[in-house]
Structure 1
Amino acid sequence: MAANVQKTSSLGKVLVTGGCGFLGHHIVKLIVERHPATQVSVLDLRTELNRNSNTNVSYHNCDITSVGAVQQIFSKIQPDVVIHTAGANLIAKNEVHYKVNVDGTKNLLAAAEKTGVKVFVYTSSASVIYNPKTELINADESWPLVMGKDQPEYYTHTKAIAEKAVLEANRGETGMLTCAIRPAGIFGEGDVQTLPKMVSAYQKGQNKFQVGSNNNLFDFSYVGNIAHGHLLAVQALLHTQKMMPTIPLDTEKVDGEAFFITNGQPVYFWDFARAVYHEAGDTLPLSSVWKMSQGLMYLIGAILEWLFWILGKTPNLTRQQVKYSCMTRYYSIKKAEKRLGYQPIVNLEEGVRRGVKYILQEEQKGKDKKDQ
């Protein structure tokens, strides 16, 4: 079904929550490029950053944890489509994670149903099936959600609860169609987590070290591909909505479903890091890299966390980073390929080149300002 979805100049009125964030603003950019007649409304806590200059894009400050504020915005905009990317910062406190990720999502769903939204696409996380005892090897959507005491990351626990709520809202009283996109390891222009830390590590001379034996495959996903996956989901749901009350075959169904979206190019973790180092200027031969044991680096990470906690800062090496750099974690995108017609539009090498180039350009801009 997805392969037959027609590209249109307009998706109607689209509301993007978190549209000034890393992923959100790339989604807005792609909508403007592909569907130029679409009326895009960006809803974010603060809308000063990453604004799109297109006249069809409007910006609205809104706290999604406020029921009244959300309902007021929805009543004003009357969106046809909601793409919900907003979420709590990874380092936020647990109560903030729950309030934003769970309560905020439920507020949006309630407002969407009340105002007759046709399509609701939620940005979940590939981590919702993660548990520390099982490596993720070509994991697909049949793997169960991991929540509660079995989920070591509270942030991920709340993302799983929110995903469940979104999918359960599919084909409710108003007929709204929903689905969830599960990205893995997003990076690219405007990235604030993955590439900046790796570029910083290179600039500090930490490219001389490697944790573990580098035999663990990992999924990194270029942000443009994740945005592409979201828009394919919107188109597929709009197509299904036009066909209602007909329900697609289970093998074609998009509504009520979750989809892993990645680059489809799992790579050894430190090979990716070295590709980033190389784009940042690294010429160190592989023979000069020191291989440090995971156990030793985990201990060092714990000590650094304690010392930096005293100083009120965050170290460049943490136990979580050590754990992530040594685990196998990649996913199957076959379901997205078949039902959404998804194929990555930017390969891993080009994505790294674009992302690192952006970081270096921003650093240069900062230096130029200081010199003025």
Structure 2
Amino acid sequence: MAARNPVPSLGHVVVIGGCGFLGSHIVSLIIKRHPDTTVSVLDLRTSSNRNASSQVSYHDADITDLDLLLKLFSQLKPDCVIHTASPHFHLPPAVHDKVNIGGTKNLLKAAQETGVKAFVYTSSAGVVLGPQTELVNATEEWPMVTGDAQPEYYTTTKAYAEIAVLEANRTPASFLTCAIRPAGIFGEGDVQLLPPIIGAYRKGQTKFQVGPNDNLFDFTYVENVAYGHLLAAQALLHTHKMLPTVPLDHERVDGEAFFITNGQPVYFWDFARAVWHECGDRLPLSKVWKLNADFASGVGFLLEWIFWAIGKTPNLTRKQVRYSTVYKYHNIDKAKKRLGYAPLVDLDEGVRRGVRHHLENEAKQAQKKDQ
């Protein structure tokens, strides 16, 4: 029998935001796939999503505090930093500036000054999506949409942070960086994508859809996104060993951005119906009411004004209408060729895992209330 290929250690990895949704999955996957790797988690609060492995240590830290980061990095001496931390999408612009841009620059400075070899940044596939743009097999060569052209301020700050990360590559020459751009992340512990879709099922709203459902959309299971980050870290560390040799352009990972998706774009409402089916919905398509997108957008505009007056958010907004009717899928050939990426979990299985986890948690919470 041929000997198994040894699993490479990533040395000492610091996961920024490692108690969050994506970050905690990255920590778990490191433990699973790279058992000789030491992991340190830095997060604003490290009380949730903790991994029980003895390989993992936890440290409360605010990435907007440069002095604290320099102190921690000097103590931990990481080989690699994976930066997933980001504030909630709906927080004020000043918070996004402070954390996404300022915090990322602090992390870069701390990493550069303490001998970190590899820095992987979690960007967003949304950095190339504008108000009039449709993403059809979008590649990393598509221009970023920022500033006044970008309606989502959060996305602008993610783009500026990505630019800072890639510009920091090879400064110093031994410091290597790259960016991962995931699209539509969902899975166990998801608080943004699956909960509102499942909530629509609970409210009996599965009989409605906006638009004709002819727009392909990328949804990505969280473990696949985590895997993309680990492949990027591994590639940067391998490149570091080869220094001062510089990889050929068509092989290069450092200084580059990569889209990571499931590679299975689906019609938008088909994904929602897959989630609803896993919840128990069996409504036939013949019973579905198709709302005209322009009409729905007008209703959303009206509801936004009414609910704004009472300080609440309506169930239907113009943003939701556009999100559910726009083409938004990406080409992942670059990640396949340069990182060796291929999804670990297909879309159907990812939906099953994510929904079942959510429903089990709901049942546990209900049981606690009854006790």
* TM above 0.5: yes
Q: What residue in structure 2 maps to residue 335 of structure 1?
A: 334
Q: What residue in structure 2 maps to residue 96 of structure 1?
A: 95
The 2-side partners of 1:329 and 1:7 are apart by: 38
The 2-side partners of 1:341 and 1:153 are apart by: 32
**Does structure 1 residue 64 correspond to structure 2 residue 48?**
no
Q: What is the SS of the residue equivalent to 1:207? A: coil
Q: What residue in structure 2 maps to residue 312 of structure 1?
A: 311
Q: CA deviation at 1:191?
A: 0.5
Structure 1 unaligned regions, length at least 5: 1-5
The 2-side partners of 1:24 and 1:315 are apart by: 30
Q: What residue in structure 1 maps to residue 34 of structure 2?
A: 35
Corresponding letter in the other structure for 1:173:
P
Q: What is the SS of the residue equivalent to 1:40? A: strand
Q: What residue in structure 1 maps to residue 228 of structure 2?
A: 229
1:299-330 Cα distance to aligned partner (Å, 9 max, x none) = 22223333333333333322211110000000
Q: What residue in structure 2 maps to residue 154 of structure 1?
A: 153
**Alignment map for 1:251-270 (pairs within 5 Å):** 251-270=250-269
Q: CA deviation at 1:75?
A: 1.5
**Does structure 1 residue 197 correspond to structure 2 residue 193?**
no
The 2-side partners of 1:193 and 1:344 are apart by: 21
CA RMSD of aligned residues (A): 1.1
1:328-367 Cα distance to aligned partner (Å, 9 max, x none) = 0000000000000000010000000000001100100011
Q: What residue in structure 1 maps to residue 210 of structure 2?
A: 211
**Does structure 1 residue 106 correspond to structure 2 residue 87?**
no
The 1-side partners of 2:6 and 2:99 are apart by: 33
How many pairs are equivalent?
A: 367
Say if 1:216 and 1:327, in contact at 8 Å, map to a contact too.
yes
Structure 2 unaligned regions, length at least 5: none
The 2-side partners of 1:167 and 1:206 are apart by: 43
Say if 1:197 and 1:316, in contact at 8 Å, map to a contact too.
no
Q: CA deviation at 1:167?
A: 0.5
Q: Give the 3 Å change call, closer, same or farther, for CA 96–7 of structure 1 in structure 2.
A: farther
Q: What residue in structure 2 maps to residue 50 of structure 1?
A: 49
Q: What is the SS of the residue equivalent to 1:206? A: coil
1:93-141 Cα distance to aligned partner (Å, 9 max, x none) = 0111111000000000000000000000000000111112221000001
Give the TM-score of the pair, scaled to structure 2: 0.97
Corresponding letter in the other structure for 1:25:
S
Q: What is the SS of the residue equivalent to 1:226? A: helix
Q: What residue in structure 2 maps to residue 3 of structure 1?
A: none
Q: What is the SS of the residue equivalent to 1:103? A: helix
**Does structure 1 residue 74 correspond to structure 2 residue 40?**
no
Say if 1:116 and 1:174, in contact at 8 Å, map to a contact too.
no
Say if 1:260 and 1:332, in contact at 8 Å, map to a contact too.
yes
Give the TM-score of the pair, scaled to structure 1: 0.97
Say if 1:263 and 1:347, in contact at 8 Å, map to a contact too.
yes
The 2-side partners of 1:26 and 1:34 are apart by: 12
